Chain A
Amino acid sequence: MKLANYDPGHFYDELFDAPGSPRSEVAPLIERINSLSIEEIQHRQQAAQIALFKMGVTFNVYSDSQGTEKIFPFDILPRTIAASEWQGLEKGLKQRILALNHFLADVYGDQKIVQDGVIPADVVYSSKGFLKACKDLKPPKGIWSHISGMDLVRDRDGQWYVLEDNLRCPSGVSYVLEGRRIMKSTLPLVFNRMQIQPVEEYPSHLLETLLNLAPDYIDDPTVVLLTPGIYNSAYFEHSYLAQQMGVELVEGRDLVVSDGYLQMRTTKGLKRVDVIYRRIDDEFVDPLVFRPDSLLGIPGLTEVYRSGRLGLANALGTGVADDKVIYAYVPEMIRYYLGEDAILSNVPTYLCWEPSQLDHVLANLDQLVVKAANESGGYGMLIGTQSTQAEREAFAAKIKAAPRNYIAQPTLSLSRVPALIGDEFEGCHVDLRPYILFGEDIYVTPGGLTRVALKKGSLVVNSSQGGGYKDTWVVS
């Protein structure tokens, strides 16, 4: 099947507005693809995958001792967003991260939003991500979540929704950067004909964001990226970002607290560290304060951080804003802190801990998507429309046992983009994760990571569940 005859079906399609009719801004791309034979397209797709494998752009590196590694499947037909539409999204994302930051400062400070009854106190304090140890913490420049990623989706009518906020250690930006690099060699002619907003500045913006966290009195701050190590599924990304920024990639065992500072062990002795971009979850960062059994972190780090001798991105405790129950309150937060209406909508969300909503959820499990409040990666999830009676009963029991841990949302009909499956283009569901950097100002990557469900009819785009990704072009 030629792309020219592609039928978007009864879905919102990101590239086509009707069968055989590409959206105006993507015409040059479709034209180019149509000029290639299906064999040529398959060949280029394969070449792109091989290049990614050779570069070691792999994930889930170690499922066994022989180092089985997979590339995150990459589809060479990009997803596009018109620049005019992107402007609105970017504004909405900045507004949202600003409000979430106010929220973090508030719940670990005066807790006004709770006292004013906008968010119930027990929701905040029962959140797994809420860390008592962070009470009264004053992170440098008052910023808590420096690096975040928000998952956006579009419904059947083309309306955008925020599906999730990721304020802990969102990953995937390395795929955006490497995917773009591969696309330039895969479809170079299209790059000449279309105005595609660049994403390559991300590492520079990231470095600036981190340098912004260094104590002011330090002239030449040392920034490091802290990784759990080569066995972590996102290790490629950690190492890639460190390399692109030219900073040291460190593991917990490289670091030690000495003389009141965080220091790293070098061949010439200890050297002070001023800023850490940590890709380790809160609870593993400091065994003295959090999990005593953790070997990944550094004993005493929290105290150095509290004393202001260290910048940490993200701040500790940001997980509370990641909680899917708290998510339901973000539009209220925006009104409360910024006095504005939310530009980006939430997906309507039922909170199981509220008895009336719980009843509705239990009565309609076959229609709803149920998610665990603190999981990620597509785990702990029930997709009602695709579940069996037995699965729904098992889930109902789990929800009743711990209602605070679950939310439910209507099943959205995610928008689609054609992707190459075998020798045909099939409409596949996608989401979008733009990355947001909050430093001196707020930077949003133009586009972001488009994850695509490469199984026909599947709605799950997570890499751990058989999804792939596409380059995302913001085109003017």
Chain B
Amino acid sequence: MLSRVADSIYWMNRYVERAENIARFVDVNLTLLLDSPIGVSQQWKPLVMTTGDLHLFEERYGEANAENVIRFLTFDRAYSNSIISCLNAARENARSVREIISSEMWQQINAFYHFVNDAANDQSLNFQTFFSEVKLASHLFAGIASATMTHSEGWHFGLMGRWLERADKTSRIVDVKYFILLPSVKDVGTTLDQLQWIALLRSTSAYEMYRKRGVHRITPKSVAEFLVLDREFPRSIRYCIRQTERSLHQITGTLEGTWNTGVERSLGKLRADLDYLTIDDVMESGLHEFLDNLQRRMNEVGLKLSETFFDTQPVTSTAPTPSR
């Protein structure tokens, strides 16, 4: 498979997943507002912090109120991680690999983009409906891909993009909640705190699944445990990293648990660490520090992946000697 094509499939999936995640946490915040007792100030800044682009936001918009944050994260074409920019990028990548992906995939991503583009111009847009449509469209894309694209190399590059992006976003969401959303000490254990942890679970579609698991009570530690270390929940970081590793080994053919390339090694180490961690280890080292380190390691995996497979640095061109 062409390196450029693998790269495009990987990013196409990453961008769709990113758009979905942005829709998720903006949506949850909107819902949260409706539940908040009167007098509690609206918490919009943490949302921008989740993206890691607070500085850029403040420069452009100033105050972090609902309108500004939603516009920035949803329809700002000048911001490269807004939903509309993500879909534009996803579609550009899809366009450049149209002949590789199924036409159904292309049609879905094209329709998805046009849907968001039309919504951007809709003055009377209902944001809650819009965000659930975005989530749905992303799931539809994943489903169509799964059902219509051959599950070979290209497919696995796509999966890696999706899983890595999801792991990254889950880590950011947990991080922000723990350090920013957590109000003053006197609020810990109150209704407000409960609501926010529920919101956090909801933003990762984890609420119902969490309740069904072992301990049903909602405590910060067990929520963090669920979202970071759960073995079976498809948005937990550990699960995502495991799946990334699986796809990587499908591509390289290297036996799982062993490695030949730099990316296999750093991903394998990360996966093994997560396999043998307990939430108490995590809390002891500090959740924020742990997540920070995790994000760094996931970035490193992304870089190594790119070095190993996508690198389009020029190979020295050697002009042939004419035959005859």
Contacts and interface: CB of A to CB of B under 8 A. Distances in A.
Interface of A: 54-56, 66-67, 229-230, 235, 239-240, 242-243, 248-251, 253-254, 256-261, 264-268, 270, 288, 298-300, 303-304, 306-309
Contacts of B99: 239-240, 242-243, 248-249
Contact of B3 (A240, A267, A304): A267
Contact of A55 (B6, B95, B107, B309): B107
Contacts of B98: 56, 239-240, 243, 249
Given A54-B110, A55-B103, A309-B320, A267 B95 contact: no
21 contacts: A56-B106, A56-B110, A230-B95, A239-B98, A239-B99, A240-B98, A243-B103, A248-B2, A254-B2, A256-B314, A257-B320, A259-B318, A265-B3, A266-B3, A267-B153, A267-B157, A268-B1, A288-B319, A299-B319, A300-B317, A306-B322
Contacts of B265: none
B312 interface: yes
A239 B8 CA distance: 14
Nearest to B95: A230
Interface string B113-131: 0000000000000000000
Q: Looking at B3, B103, B251, B309, which has the most chain A CB atoms within 10 Å of its CB? A: B3
A304 B323 CA distance: 9
Contacts of B285: none
Q: Which 9 A-B pairs have the closest CB atoms?
A: A260-B320, A243-B99, A242-B99, A239-B98, A300-B319, A267-B309, A307-B323, A265-B3, A256-B315
A67 B318 CA distance: 38
A266 B3 CA distance: 5
Interface string B192-206: 000000000000000
B249 interface: no
Contacts of B107: 54-56
A56 B315 CA distance: 34
Contacts of B2: 248, 250, 254, 264-267
Contacts of B153: 267
Interface string B42-67: 00000000000000000000000000
B77 A66 contact: yes
A196 to B, nearest CB: 24
Interface residues of B, number: 36
Contact of A260 (B88, B111, B309, B321): B321
B103 A307 contact: no
A303 B319 contact: yes
B191 interface: no
Nearest to A268: B1
A266 B92 CA distance: 20
A230 B92 contact: yes
Interface in B4-62: 4-6
Given A66-B77, A300-B320, A239 B314 contact: no
Given A265-B315, A308-B323, A230 B3 contact: no
A307 B319 CA distance: 11
Interface in B276-324: 309-310, 312, 314-315, 317-324
A229 B323 CA distance: 32
Interface string B70-101: 00000001000000000010011001101110
A250 to B, nearest CB: 7
B322 A251 contact: no
A132 B55 CA distance: 57
Contacts of B110: 54, 56
Q: Looking at B5, B92, B99, B157, which has the most chain A CB atoms within 10 Å of its CB? A: B99
Contacts of A249: 98-100
A55 B314 CA distance: 34
B309 to A, nearest CB: 5
Contacts of B5: 248
Contact of B317 (A56, A229, A248, A256): A256
